[in-house]
Amino acid sequence: MLSTQEAQEGEKLVLALNNLTGRTMVLNRPKALNSLTLPMVQTIKRYLEDWEKSDLCDVVMLRSNSRKAFCAGGDVVQVSRDWRDGNKAQAMEFFRTEYKVNHHIATYKKPIVAMLDGFTMGGGVGLSVHAPFRVASENAVFAMPETKIGFFPDVGATFFLPRLDGELGVYLGLTGQKLKGRDLLYAGIATHYVPSERHALLEQRLQGLGTSDYTAINLAIEEFVAQPENSQSEDFVGVVNDVPIDFSLASVRDVIDICFKFNTIEAIMQALTEVANQPGPASEWAQKTYDQMNQMSPSSLKLTLEQLRRGAQLDIQKAFELELVLAERRLESHDMHEGIDALLVRKTNDAAWDPENINAVDIRELYSQYFEGEHETTPLYLGSTPFTEYPHKFGLPTEQEILDVVSGESPQAGGFGMTYELVMEFFMREYESKMGVEQKVNWVLSRRTELGDTGGTLRVIKS
């Protein structure tokens, strides 16, 4: 229950705008890049509950008051301070309430549109990535940098990161690598790309739409999207390595799968070392990635890898329940508080990790500490049905969906023997010529398929 003071603080830092049948939450803590405090997440929780019940509300929008940051994360400095001052219940209440909000967004009974303009990290990802509509601008910067502060990717990352293409989610979760602008669309984090200058008009359009129909809302957002900068290559001749696509990870996408497919951090680091020592365009990326991971908490890296591997098999509710257990046990660790101090308080980026390297982290002890034994589960948002895949799909097709059409494993596509033209025609029809579909499908086909033996049909290259 919020105190009067907490409610007043929350309402100052999270503004509520009512216009026609639209409701907008505006994050209003710009000096802290909209980092979430407990009163803020408590206020967001209350708004979501009230608007879900209201017959006057058709669509909920989330945005920031600043183009610099949608939300740069949770106020973990305060959480760490509370824990070390003995206010452990207060520290855990932040995570418990935050995860309830994230879970509620994932299972909300009305459309939610998150406007990603500026830094979208940690807690900001939790407020957006579970929504059916995620609109990124050219200013959007996504990252899950928790391993750098001795924590783990939370706010539902256990669920959403393993469901990105291939090993992309594991790579992002372990390294904290930033993605910008259109990257979010092609990575599957955003569903639409709309320039920042159009966001206000889009908000007005949705406020006056007068419906909670998801298809209508999707079409309304599509009215504002920007054309991709790169067009489809004219000549498809099987495997083409240089298909233009505005995605910063395009050139290393397959190498990410090669290096991050393993189930131990040691094997991943060894794979990165091997790529770094080979001539080729991926060498520099591999060395940089290896160096990035060496800066992270070794115990956080091993914890995160196990968390994400398990998360691929969990439903949405179990994923959040696991994170709540991990959060409490991580607060008991040395590395989380040391990492927060080094990066966010002292700002020296010189954390003294314990253990100090990955070889010193006993994986059996880590499993016992974080994943085994009895623990109390706290109910999250009740009244929802758990799911293992997000119920709404308004983004681009996944790589696996594209390859399933080629291999004949997609029941909607009608079997084997499809040419490049037929595959492209299928996706453009299914996605109603959505911006970005042509580019992604063309790019995936160029990397992952080759011409078959008959009639220009395609077959999937075995990885």
Is 413 in contact with 419 (CB distance < 8 Å)? no
The pLDDT, as a whole number, for residue 132 is 98
HSE toward the beta carbon, residue 204, CA cutoff 13 A: 6
396: closest CA among 425, 426, 435?
Answer: 435
Three-point CA angle 456, 458, 460, nearest 5°: 160
DSSP 294-309: HHS-HHHHHHHHHHHH
Which of 238, 181, 191 has the alpha carbon at shortest distance from 451? 238
Residues 3-42 have pLDDT tens digits of 676 668 889 999 999 999 999 999 999 999 999 999 999 9
165: tokens are 């293409």
Q: Which residues are within 8 A (CB) of 350 and not within 5 positions of it... i.e. 6 or more apart?
A: 342
Q: Can you tell me the distance from the alpha carbon of 304 to that of 371, in angstroms, rounded to the nearest whole number?
A: 12
CA-based max dimension of the chain: 73
Contact 80, 336 (CB under 8 A): yes
What are the pLDDT digits (tens) for 205-226? 999 999 999 999 999 999 999 9
Q: Give the three-state DSSP class for 315.
A: coil
pLDDT for residue 452: 86
* Beta-bridge partners for 189: none
Catalytic sites, residue numbers: 74, 123, 146, 154
Annotate 421-450 with b (16+ C-beta within 10 A) or e (fewer): ebbbebbeebbeebbbbbbbbbbbbbbbbe
* Sign (positive or negative) of CA dihedral 210, 63, 26, 331: positive
Q: Is the pLDDT of residue 191 over 50?
A: yes
> Residue 293 corresponds to which amino acid?
M
Tens of pLDDT along 232-269? Answer: 444 333 333 445 689 999 999 999 999 999 999 999 99
Output the DSSP codes for 30-82: GGGTT-B-HHHHHHHHHHHHHHHH-TT--EEEEEES-SSEEE--B-HHHHHHH
- Which 3 state secondary structure label does DSSP give 25? strand
pLDDT given at position 382: 61
Query: Which residues lie below 8 Å from residue 46, measured CB to CB, with a gap of 6+?
Result: 2
More confidently predicted of 409 and 155: 155
Q: Render the burial of 4-34: b for 16+ CB within 10 Å, e for the rest.
A: eebeebbbebbeeeeeebbbbbbbebeeebb
pLDDT averaged over the chain?
92
The CA distance from 206 to 192, in Å, is 15
> Rounded distance, CA 288 to CA 279, Å?
15
Mean pLDDT value of segment 174-202 = 98
Identify the CA nearest to 200 among candidates 117, 105, 138, 128: 117
Handedness of CA 76, 78, 80, 86 (dihedral sign): negative
How many residues are there in the chain? 463
Q: What is the pLDDT of residues 113-159, one digit of tens each?
A: 999 999 999 999 999 999 999 999 999 999 999 999 999 999 999 99
Task: Give the C-alpha distances (Å, rounded to integers) separating 254 from 386, 444, 452, 463.
Answer: 32, 10, 21, 9
Please state whether beta strands 179-180 and 141-143 pair in parallel, antiparallel, or not at all (unpaired).
antiparallel
